[in-house]
Amino acid sequence: MSKKFLRKKEQKEKRKVAKERIETLFTLAERVFPYEPELANRYVKIALEVHQKVKVPIPRKWKRRYCKKCHSFLVPGVNARVRLRDKPYPHVVITCLNCGHITRYPYLREKKRRRTQKAHSS
């Protein structure tokens, strides 16, 4: 086995671990948010650090669950306001109630329901 091959493999492994960590951190954030929002925010920060360092994408499921500005974990109806708008294109407006930051996402694709969510087995 060449060194180059090993490095590549290592890199792949690193990305896989990073992805799993991000997923876990967001899941934890959601779980602790009701009674420890500060801790939830810390989990988000750690997840974002991993994301930046290893350059793995934030899972779609969690992409809208944090504020891009203050990095708070967002829960619609608690610390985030969610509004649907149709013009000029169908989009969701999410307002972070912590810092007032507004994020817009097109939502057409969201209509398609994701049916198969792979379980964590590999």
Which stretches of the chain bind Zn ion, using CB under 5 A?
Answer: 67, 69-70, 96, 98-99, 101
- Pairwise CA distance, residues 86 & 24, whole Å: 34
Query: Distance (Å, rounded) from C-alpha 54 to C-alpha 18?
Result: 7
Closest to Zn ion by CB, 100 vs 106, is: 100
- Whether 92 contacts 104, CB under 8 Å: yes
Question: Can you point out the beta strands (E) in the chain?
Answer: 80-85, 91-96, 102-106
Nearer to Zn ion, 22 or 96 (CB): 96
The smaller minimum CB distance to Zn ion, of residues 8 and 83, is found at 83
Task: Please tell me the total number of residues recorded for the chain in this structure.
Answer: 122
